[in-house]
């Protein structure tokens, strides 16, 4: 997946990213991308490496929503 591919994927979800990205390829299930949006906000993106990750993503989303409600 190229930087342009990631920018297109993010844009489809309303996120406009610059081309300033760092990659962490160590994960088995997800490609991790540290990115910067056009407003200067930093993002950590996790892109599934394979199909069948939907349930894992749903579980992690619930955890993040819980943490968000506790800390914000």
Domains of the chain, each with CATH number or no CATH: 3-71 (3.30.200)
Give the tens place of pLDDT for each residue, 48-72. 988 888 888 899 889 989 898 887 6
Full-model pTM: 0.74
pLDDT above 80 for 38: yes
Q: How many residues does the chain have?
A: 72
17 and 36 Cβ atoms separated by less than 8 Å: yes
Residue 25 CB contacts under 8 Å (≥ 6 apart), including other chains: 31, 32
pLDDT at residue 27 in the model? 83
Residue 6 pLDDT > 90: yes
Categorize the per-residue pLDDT at 40 as very low, low, confident or very high, splitting at 50, 70 and 90.
Answer: very high
Percent of the residues in the chain that have a pLDDT greater than 70, as a whole number: 99
């Amino acid at each position: 997946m190229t930087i342009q591919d990631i920018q297109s994927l993010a844009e489809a979800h309303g996120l406009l990213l610059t081309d300033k990205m760092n990659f962490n390829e160590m994960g088995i299930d997800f490609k991790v991308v540290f990115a910067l949006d056009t407003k200067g906000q930093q993002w950590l993106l996790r892109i599934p490496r394979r199909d069948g990750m939907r349930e894992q993503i749903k579980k992690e989303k619930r955890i993040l929503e819980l943490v968000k409600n506790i800390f914000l």
